[in-house]
Chain A
């Protein structure tokens, strides 16, 4: 009859009400601050406009959307990894478009070298591709982790690359 209670007692309810209120407020507080370094939530539509997304194949489109989601959720290293997958796919498609050859059996470095030698690339485009390749080489080090700012910078470089390339 006087064993442990089943229902929440008044004093515990008072304390847990206060604590839960504080927890909710604090958690909502951290989500209210975006935490991104360069990309702001209100500029997402401008970064990945529909006309740019519609030029991409489905896999690249989804990879870029996933990368952006990772960036906004402040998990930069996965964001960068998926950025590189998207970039490699963009590079392969661009190589095929430019040369008329299949890119499937070639590495990123081989594709870039051939494109450089073809002298068909404008300097800004070459700049984006070299930057992204250097960053991908960094990513291959097992200890490498990317900062939030690096991830956003890499994402914006891909956006610059796509703007420079035009329709694929």
Chain B
């Protein structure tokens, strides 16, 4: 399932900054980096959440991360 694959990628990349030594730099913006992946999966997560109460809060959290990362980080260019 692509969704789980993408979220696992996000998780592992974040973990490589937060929990793994030596820290590996992880770009936020750019094709197939964190922000692009969250943006790509957001519509599917939103659609899925309309079916399952247990994940109803996830789209808002993803949307907030998208807005925050977009504002906070710069594209290397």
- Interface of A, helix, strand, loop or mixed by DSSP: helix
- Most A CB within 10 A of own CB, among B48, B52, B62, B65: B52
User: Bound state CA distance, A88 and B20, in angstroms?
Assistant: 60
User: Bound state CA distance, A74 and B76, in angstroms?
Assistant: 43
User: Bound state CA distance, A28 and B7, in angstroms?
Assistant: 11
Taking CB atoms and an 8 Å cut-off, the chain B residues in 32-76 that contact chain A are 34, 45, 48, 51-52, 54-55, 58, 61-62, 65, 68-69, 72-76
User: Do the beta carbons of B14 and A20 come within 8 Å of each other?
Assistant: yes
Q: A13-B18, A16-B10, A27-B7 are in contact. Are A74 and B28 (CB under 8 A)?
A: no
User: Do the beta carbons of B34 and A5 come within 8 Å of each other?
Assistant: no
Cβ distance B6 to chain A, nearest Cβ, rounded Å: 10
Chain A residues near B69: list those with CB within 8 A: 12
Interface size on B, residues (CB 8 A): 36
Cβ distance A7 to chain B, nearest Cβ, rounded Å: 4
Binding site for A on B (CB under 8 A): 3-4, 7-8, 10-11, 13-15, 17-19, 23, 25-29, 34, 45, 48, 51-52, 54-55, 58, 61-62, 65, 68-69, 72-76
Closest 8 CB pairs of A and B: A13-B17, A20-B11, A13-B18, A4-B74, A17-B14, A30-B52, A7-B25, A14-B18
